[in-house]
Amino acid sequence: MDAPVDSTWLLTREAEDAALDAEGLSKAGVKWASVPCIEFVTKAWPEWPARDGTPVLFITSRRAATAVPPGDAWRAKDTPGLIAATAPVTSAWLEAHGHPVDFWAHGGAEGLARTLVAAWQAQGRPAWHVRYPASDAGQHAPEQENAVALLKTVGAVDRAVVYETRAAQGLEERLEPFLLAPYSLSFSSPSAVKAFLAACPRGSRVADRVVCFGASTARAWSVGRPESWPQGELSESSLVETITSSQEPARS
């Protein structure tokens, strides 16, 4: 059954990342609260291997997008480049900060990889190679491995860690007030799922609904959730579209 009307949706990613979700929920009259579950440590932009052809920057998170050097500094000297980014948050952030996006897609890393492969084929299979800045945790996610396998049909794929994730400090204390009343959860990364589960006090009230973005996120929730908690709903649209649809969430 759907979450009670008085259930508060907890947005577990950074406030800036969750801004579109928050706006949509507010317009729909749905209560929400921002409780970021993870923090980030930015790493230096990498020195990418020199390769022939056009570099395609493959960006799947706003945090990776913030690491991109200003202007054309990420491109090889005298070489044009292309940008592929997940929608809507990451692509919108890049556009707003002076990085025109050539290819975008919903569906996380795999959805973007499929879109890029289709574009490469439609353009006659030009000489492209992929630069994939990611997080330390993301490099080991099955979803990212699947995306890389798709991207290798286009050309060489170079990955590099541009940020690291860790659980937000004081998370248990910030979560506790919300877990006393009806609440639902939205996750956008396996790291956020793991941080929440580690910080959730034993015996806490069970969430009414759980929405996950990305197959790796849904997998992390499925594996880690307490047995009596609801299964995660895998979403490829906006949060407000998912929770206001007529589809009933699956429960254990």
Residue 247 has pLDDT above 60, yes or no: no
CB 35 within 8 A of CB 174: yes
The pLDDT of residue 246: 44
Q: Which one is predicted more confidently, 6 or 56?
A: 56
End-to-end CA distance of the chain: 12
Q: Which domains does the chain have, with CATH numbers?
A: 8-37+168-243 (3.40.50.10090), 41-166 (3.40.50.10090)
Using CA atoms, how far apart are residues 160 and 245, in angstroms rounded to an integer?
A: 38
> For the whole model, what pTM was predicted?
0.71
DSSP string, 56-124: EEEE-SHHHHHHSPSTTTTSPTT---EEEEETTHHHHHHHHTT---SEEESSHHHHHHHHHHHHHHHTT
Both tokens assigned to 58: 């493959």
Q: What is the pLDDT of residues 20-64, one digit of tens each?
A: 889 999 999 999 999 999 998 889 999 999 999 999 999 999 889
Segment 101-120, tens digit of pLDDT:
999 998 889 999 999 999 99
Residue of 90, 85, 114 whose CA lies nearest to 102: 85
Express each pLDDT in 118-164 by its tens digit: 999 999 999 999 999 999 888 778 889 999 999 999 999 999 999 99
In this predicted structure, the answer to whether residue 17 has a pLDDT above a threshold of 60 is yes
CA neighbours within 13 Å on the CB side: how many for 214?
27
